[in-house]
């Protein structure tokens, strides 16, 4: 059974606790309990009426003459009653469904309580951060002295300025053509973008993932199964006059891939590495990161996605994070892992880690990877269950997890700030070079400033 419905019926205290820790009202839980009770009551009533209707309908077949007319009269009346009762049931069901689906995922016990991203808890630091001498105090304070660092006396050019000054992207013309938060990526960064994608896909394929290039648009029905309703307004683009939405991440078509399926236990876990462009309205981000290619309406991303047995999902959560870490360690970019607190978690995930890269020019850690265990929150909506074998009764809903591997534009900003030389050249991480090697005109060691035109 779906964990939220199970909790509503058998152990509401779990839901109260989860809601309290999120800082949300528990009133919705009480409403769910009440509606569920009413719905079951009404269902009983409806089934009784249906039974009576079926009995009468069966009688009509064999009845003759006057008797027949009488039975049909009665059956008509009962049929009307059934219709009425079914309508009431439908209303209750819709109400119950609406309430149940608006209950956020049940929070895992290891999620820290906090009101916003300032209260996320760093759990790990990796790499030696390059810290500009003026930022050292704040760095030490921010990291609680847990992170290694080296002091630099030159501050690199920030990624947003660098891409324009050094001629790696044209944001002005993109704004003219498509608006703010779009970009023309030019020359070396195009190759770098491809190399990052290839690097991540190659790694994940070797780790046992199936590489997938999914549809970039989805129907509403599938989409509503993978995300919160509010996202439709804030992040997702709709195609005019079509029942189609541009994907905000390949997580979404990957999650929906197996909707209305019963998966066999022995084929689990299913591991997918999705690669696709991502389209986001960023409607809720006014004024944030308006410059450069850090926060944009369109970017490329390699994503990890897992369908697994419920008892294995917490293990997979750690393993997805480990994959992401290995990829970023390979790039040589210092980062930290934060355990996202209740206030910053969102309603889909039961627990989430972010990997935040150190950005020397900004003197801050910035989000590069999000790694979530969605337990059965998505799989219930998408109706993805598992059974011992095809044809056998299902045992329950699978768990789904997703984690960024590499989002290319963000990775590029981190590379620009971490590996910038004094002359503006940017050293290319060694792990990417073999993916650039086959392309004769691609840069191999450094990305070089070139002011085009």
Partner RNA sequence: GCCGGGGUUGCAGAGAGGUACUGCGCCAGCCUUGAGAGCUGGUGCCCGUAAGGGCUCCUGGGUUCAAAUCCCAGCCCCGGCGCCA
How far apart, in whole angstroms, are the C-alpha atoms of residue 275 and residue 189? 18
Task: Write down the least CB distance from residue 31 to RNA, Å.
Answer: 17
Minimum distance from CB of 4 to RNA (Å)? 13
Q: How far is CA 308 from the centre of its chain?
A: 16
Which 58-87 residues touch RNA, going by CB under 7 A?
58, 60-61, 72, 75-76, 79
Which span sits near RNA by CB under 7 A: 22-30, 94-102, 134-142, 383-391? 383-391
Q: 92 phi and psi, to 5 degrees?
A: -60, -40
Smallest gap from residue 235 Cβ to RNA (A): 24
If one asks whether residue 101 binds RNA (CB under 7 A), the answer comes out as no
DSSP-based three-state secondary structure for 354: strand
The correct pick among 47, 102, 213, 230 for binding RNA (CB under 7 A) is 47
Using a 10 angstrom Cβ sphere, with 0-12 exposed, 13-18 middle and 19 or more buried, the burial of residue 428 is buried
Measured CA to CA in angstroms, residue 227 lies from 235, 251, 312, 451 at distances of 11, 10, 22, 42
Judged by CB, which is closer to RNA: 37, or 128?
Answer: 37
Tell me which stretch binds RNA (CB under 7 A): 56-64, 205-213, 365-373, 411-419: 56-64
Among 65, 144, 208, 391, binds RNA (CB under 7 A): 391
Alpha carbon distance 275, 209 (integer Å): 12
- Asked if 53 touches RNA (CB under 7 A), the answer is yes
Report DSSP letters for 176-242, one per residue. Answer: HHT-TT--EE-THHHHHHHHHHHHHHHHHHHTTPEEE---SEE-HHHHHHHS-TTHHHHT--B-TTS
User: CB of 61: closest distance to RNA in angstroms?
Assistant: 4
CB of 40 to RNA, least distance (A): 4
Selected from 43, 123, 198, 228, the binder of RNA by CB under 7 A is 43
Binding of RNA by 390 (CB under 7 A): yes
Within 8 A by CB and 6+ apart from 105, the residues are 4, 347, 348, 349, 350, 374, 375, 377
Binding of residue 44 to RNA (CB under 7 A): yes
Binding footprint of RNA on the chain (CB under 7 A): 1, 40, 43-44, 46-48, 50-51, 53-54, 56-58, 60-61, 72, 75-76, 79, 262, 389-394
């Amino acid at each position: 059974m779906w964990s939220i419905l199970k909790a509503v019926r058998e152990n509401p205290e779990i839901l109260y606790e989860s809601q309290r820790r999120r800082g949300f009202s528990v009133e919705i839980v009480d409403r769910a309990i009440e509606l569920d009770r009413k719905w079951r009551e009404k269902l009983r009533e409806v089934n009784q009426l249906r039974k009576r209707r079926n009995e009468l309908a069966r009688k009509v077949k064999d009845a003759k003459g006057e008797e027949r007319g009488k039975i049909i009269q009665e059956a008509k009346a009962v049929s009307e009653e059934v219709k009425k009762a079914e309508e009431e049931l439908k209303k209750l069901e819709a109400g119950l469904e609406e309430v149940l689906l608006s209950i956020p995922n049940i929070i895992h016990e290891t999620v820290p309580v906090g009101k916003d991203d300032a209260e996320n808890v760093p759990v790990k630091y990796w790499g030696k951060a390059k810290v500009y001498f003026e930022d050292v105090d704040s760095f030490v304070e921010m990291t609680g002295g847990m992170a290694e660092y080296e002091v630099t006396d030159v501050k690199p050019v920030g990624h947003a300025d660098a891409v324009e000054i050094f001629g790696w992207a044209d944001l002005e013309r993109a704004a003219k053509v498509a608006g703010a938060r779009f970009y023309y990526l030019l020359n070396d960064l195009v190759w770098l973008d491809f190399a990052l994608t290839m690097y991540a896909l190659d790694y994940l394929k070797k780790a046992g993932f199936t590489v997938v290039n999914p549809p970039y648009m989805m129907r509403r029905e599938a989409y509503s199964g993978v995300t919160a309703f509010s996202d439709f307004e804030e992040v997702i683009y709709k195609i005019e006059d079509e029942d189609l939405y541009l994907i905000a991440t390949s997580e979404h078509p990957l999650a929906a891939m197996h909707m209305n399926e019963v998966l066999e236990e022995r084929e689990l876990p299913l591991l997918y590495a999705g690669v696709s462009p991502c389209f986001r309205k960023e409607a809720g981000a006014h004024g944030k990161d308006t410059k450069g290619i850090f926060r944009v309406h369109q970017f490329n991303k390699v994503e990890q996605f897992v369908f697994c047995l419920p008892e294995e999902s917490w293990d997979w959560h750690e393993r997805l994070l480990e994959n992401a870490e290995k990829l970023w360690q390979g790039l040589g970019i210092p980062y930290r892992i934060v355990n996202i607190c209740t206030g910053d978690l969102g309603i889909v995930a039961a627990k989430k880690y972010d990997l935040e890269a150190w950005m020397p020019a900004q003197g801050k850690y910035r989000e590069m990877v999000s790694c979530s265990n969605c337990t059965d929150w998505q799989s219930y909506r998408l109706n993805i269950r598992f059974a011992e074998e095809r044809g056998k009764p299902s045992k329950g809903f699978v768990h789904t997890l997703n984690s960024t591997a590499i989002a290319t534009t963000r990775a590029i900003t981190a590379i620009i700030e971490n590996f910038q030389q004094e002359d503006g050249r940017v050293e290319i991480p060694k792990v990417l070079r073999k993916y650039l090697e086959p392309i004769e005109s691609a840069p191999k060691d450094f990305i070089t400033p070139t002011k085009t035109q």
